[in-house]
Homo-oligomer: A and B are copies of this chain.
Amino acid sequence: MTVWARPERGTRGPAAVHSRAELAAVAVELADRSGLSAVSMRQVAKALGTGQASLYRYLAGRADLLDLMTDAVTGEIDLDVPLSGDPVADLAALAARTKAVQLRHPWLADIPPEPLRLGPRGLDYLEYALRAMAPAGLPGGTGLEVVALMNALVAQFARTELQAAGADTGRRAAQAAYLSAAAARGEHPHLAAALAERPGAGPAEDPQVLFERTMRRVLTGLVGEGPGAAPSQQPS
């Protein structure tokens, strides 16, 4: 049973002091400040001012907590943006908003990618995405995989941008050192060339437009050109 399938409150007994939403909020704040590794049962309990064992009155385990957190930040994505009817444009815009959330909550990249972590807000998100690509008239069932693919790409872009802006954790520096040392060793000429051209190479191209362009290309490849072969659908 998922957290979402379990009722939050039974009919008997005293009212719970906290709520799932409260748990989620505390956990998200903790993760935002100190990373996902700081989100342990003990630390969440402490931040909540309660005993650690009490958390298991709300959750069946840590996985449930991650579900709550994921769904909470999914809710930050604005789904009230009207659809234009062009699947590629609408999905690209949605992807941009999704990426913004991933940048705001870097720990999302550290969450183990379960094959489905879908809460109520996740359902709304999925519905919105499917509605956006309805005009394309894709064969049934394909839509879900397109969304999954899109999100995988978004996550990858978010990782790249975070790593470009993030502090050198020491590990990153070590890896970079090993990389350039290997490049200097003479083998791997293409790698060396790629690394050499890294810092210069033009005005560093705004990552925002690069993301936009790449996303449109990929989505065009996945979902087809403009309105597809089944134009009998209206947007919204």
Residue positions of A touching B, CB distance < 8 A: 1-2, 4-5, 63, 109-110, 112-118, 120, 123-124, 126-127, 130-131, 134, 139-141, 143-145, 148-149, 152-153, 155-156, 159-160, 162-163, 166, 171-172, 174-179, 181-182, 187-191, 193-194, 196-198, 200-202, 214, 217-218, 220-222
Contact = CB atoms under 8 A, between A and B. Distances in A.
A163 B115 CA distance: 7
A148 B160 contact: yes
* Chain A residues touching B, majority SS: helix
Contact of A221 (B144, B171, B221): B221
Given A130-B194, A217-B221, A222-B214, A176 B140 contact: no
A201 B113 contact: no
B221 A178 contact: no
Contacts of A2: 171, 174-175, 177-178
Contact of A156 (B148, B166, B182): B148
A182 B122 CA distance: 11
A134 to B, nearest CB: 6
Given A139-B202, A214-B222, 20 more contacts: A2-B178, A5-B177, A5-B181, A109-B113, A115-B163, A120-B182, A123-B179, A123-B188, A130-B193, A134-B190, A140-B198, A140-B200, A141-B198, A143-B194, A148-B156, A149-B214, A152-B152, A152-B155, A218-B221, A218-B222
